[in-house]
Amino acid sequence: MSDPLKIAVAGLGTVGAGVLKILAGQRALLAQRAGRDVEVVGVSARDRNRDRGVPLDGYAWFDDAVQMARETDAHVVVELIGGSDGIAKDVVEAAIDGGKHVVTANKALLAHHGTALAKRAEKAGVALAYEAAVAGGIPIVKAMREGLAANRLSRVYGILNGTCNYILTTMRETGREFEDVLADAQKLGYAEADPAFDIDGVDAAHKLSILTSLAFGTEVDFSSVHVEGIRHVSPLDIQYADELGYRIKLLGIAGMTDHGIEQRVHPCMVPNDSPIAHVEGVFNAVVADGDYVDTTVYEGRGAGEGPTASAVVADIVDILRGIVLPTFAVPVGTLTAAETAPMGRHFGCYYVRLKVLDNPGVFADIAAILRDHRVSMEAILQRGRAPGEPVNVVLTTHETLEEDMIRTLNEIEALEAVAEPPRMIRIETF
C-alpha cells in the first residue's frame, strides 16, 4: 500500500464533523476500496472548543485556515467554510497555488469564481472536486462528468434546495401558509435563521450554474440565472395546482434553446406523473437529458451531515484512486462563454391567478388583453359567484412567449376590476 494521503480540513461545522466521522469510522473500508490510507494532518475552524460530537484531540489544530492550507504537507485541502469570498476563497487559492488538491462543498464559491478557480487548478495540475456542492449526497457531478460522458446534454433540471422542497411539501400536505411552515422549518433545523438564501432561490441558482457548466461545457455564469423564490406561493395556488393535476416545486432548469442557454430558478407546476413530482420533503432530485441515454434521474438527500460528508469523502476517494479530472469535465480553455437566452424569450405555459371583482364585462376585458398579446388560454376556473365581490379566477395558457405574458399581466393588473397583482407560476411539461 502507498503512503497515506494527507488531508487538511478547513471548517468544522456539520459537514466538517461528518467528514471526520466517516474518515475515522470507515477507515478500513476506505483503505480497502482505494488501496491507500487517509491521514488528517490538520483541522481548522473558528471555535476550537465547540462540541462537534467528534474528538479533535488527535488532529493538529490551526487557528488560521489559510495558513493551514499553505503550510501543512497535506495532499488535499477540504474546504467546508462556505461563502463565495473571504476565507473560503483564500483557503482554496492557497491550496491550489501550493499544489494541493481541493475538495469543497462550496457552491457559492464555484458559482461566482468557478471558471477562474478551475483555470488555477488546471495550471497547478490539481483536482478541484465539488460533488458535495450540488444536491448533497447524490453523485450527480460524477454522473454528468463521467457516467453521461457519451452524451451531448440538452437539458438538466431539478429540485436543488431541500429547504424549499420541505416547505412546499408541508404546505401541500397541511394547507398551511408559507410563513407559518417556514417558522416550523427553522425550529426543525431545515431552514436557517436567515432563510433568504434558500427561499429566495439563490442557493438553487448557485447549484444550477454549476450544473449548467457541466452540462454544456460553458463557463460558470451565475449572473445570468433568472431567480425567483417561493415566498409568494400560497396554499391557494397549491390547491389549484392539485386540481389541475400538478405539484408546485422550486426547480432549477438549464436548457439549450434557439436563443442560447436558458438558466432559471423559480416555482414550477410539474405534472403529477413527472418523475420529480413525487420527490418530497428534504429530498433533492436532478434530471439530465442526453442525446443517447435519453432521460436519467438522480434522487437523494440534498443536505445534512451524512449525505454531504458522503459526497466530500467520495471526492477524497477519487483522489486516493488517482482520479483527477478537469473541473468542469473538459479542459478549462475549451469552456465557451455561453450565450444567454433572455428570459423574455422563454416559451412555455403559464398558470395565472387573478383576484377580480365579479362584475359583468371583466372577463371580456381580460380576454381582449390576452388576444391582443397572442396568449391562448387552455383552461379557466372560477369557483362560485359573488356579484360585486372579489373572486379568484385561475387560467392556464398554451405555449406563450414570456415577454407577451408579462405585458399581458401588466395590462390585466391595471384593470380597475382587478383587486391585487396577478400571481403567475410557470407550467413545465417535461
Report, in Å, the least distance between residue 104 CB and its own copies.
16
Task: Map the footprint of its own copies across residues 139-158, applying CB under 8 A.
Answer: 139, 142-143, 146-152
For residue 291, state whether it binds its own copies (rule: CB under 8 A).
yes
Residue of the chain from 54, 227, 244, 297 that contacts its own copies (CB under 8 A): 297
For residue 124, state whether it binds its own copies (rule: CB under 8 A).
no
Which span (101-109, 119-127, 137-145, 170-178) binds its own copies, by CB under 8 A?
Answer: 137-145
Residue of the chain from 2, 27, 35, 188 that contacts its own copies (CB under 8 A): 35
Nearest to 40 by CA among 53, 52, 55, 50: 55
Query: Which is closer to its own copies, CB of 103 or CB of 202?
Result: 103
List Cα–Cα distances, 65 to 16, 86, 205, 253, in angstroms.
13, 11, 27, 35
Task: Map the footprint of its own copies across residues 210-269, applying CB under 8 A.
Answer: 217
Residue of the chain from 82, 235, 281, 306 that contacts its own copies (CB under 8 A): 306
Interface with its own copies (CB under 8 A), residue total: 58
Q: Is 317 helix (H, G, I), strand (E, B) or coil?
A: helix
Give the separation between CA 127 and CA 46, rounded to whole angstroms: 26
Sign of the four-CA dihedral 175, 180, 183, 184: negative
Which among 6, 89, 207, 249 is annotated as catalytic? Answer: 207
Which grid coordinates are listed for 21? Answer: 466521522
Which span (81-89, 160-168, 283-291, 393-401) binds its own copies, by CB under 8 A?
Answer: 283-291
The long-range contacts involving 194-198, CB below 8 angstroms and separated by at least 24 positions, are 195/163, 198/161, 198/163, 198/164
Provide the greatest CA pair distance for the chain. 83
Nearest to 260 by CA among 150, 339, 358: 339
Q: Look at strands 101-104 and 418-427 and give their pairing.
A: unpaired
Report, in Å, the least distance between residue 36 CB and its own copies.
12
For residue 126, state whether it binds its own copies (rule: CB under 8 A).
no
Query: Which is closer to its own copies, CB of 35 or CB of 421?
Result: 35
Query: Which is closer to its own copies, CB of 222 or CB of 328?
Result: 328
Report the amino acid identity of residue 310: S
Report the amino acid identity of residue 260: G
Which grid coordinates are listed for 377? Answer: 388560454
The answer to whether 207 is a known catalytic residue is yes
Which span (25-33, 188-196, 219-227, 235-243) binds its own copies, by CB under 8 A?
Answer: 25-33
DSSP 336: B
Q: Is 31 helix (H, G, I), strand (E, B) or coil?
A: helix
Which span (22-30, 47-55, 224-232, 375-383) binds its own copies, by CB under 8 A?
Answer: 22-30
Return the H-helix or E-strand segment holding 412: helix 402-414
Whether the Cβ atoms of residue 99 and residue 124 lie closer than 8 Å to each other = yes
For residue 366, state whether it binds its own copies (rule: CB under 8 A).
no
Residue of the chain from 68, 102, 253, 329 that contacts its own copies (CB under 8 A): 329
Which span (92-100, 192-200, 312-320, 411-419) binds its own copies, by CB under 8 A?
Answer: 312-320
Query: Could you write out the DSSP letters of every residue in 153-204?
Result: EEEEEEE--HHHHHHHHHHHHH---HHHHHHHHHHHTSS-SS-HHHHTSHHH
Which span (31-39, 183-191, 195-203, 356-364) binds its own copies, by CB under 8 A?
Answer: 31-39
Give the separation between CA 209 and CA 252, rounded to whole angstroms: 9
State CA 150 to chain mean position distance: 24
For residue 410, state whether it binds its own copies (rule: CB under 8 A).
no
The residue whose grid cell reads 491521514 is: 39
Residue of the chain from 4, 26, 227, 357 that contacts its own copies (CB under 8 A): 26
For residue 11, state whether it binds its own copies (rule: CB under 8 A).
no
Q: Look at strands 38-44 and 61-62 and give their pairing.
A: parallel
Query: Which is closer to its own copies, CB of 292 or CB of 385?
Result: 292
Helices 402-414 and 362-372 meet at what angle, rounded to 10? 150
Catalytic residues: 207
Residues that bind its own copies (CB under 8 A): 18, 22, 26, 29-30, 32-35, 131, 137-139, 142-143, 146-152, 217, 273, 275, 278, 285, 290-301, 306-307, 309-314, 316-318, 321-323, 325, 329-331, 334
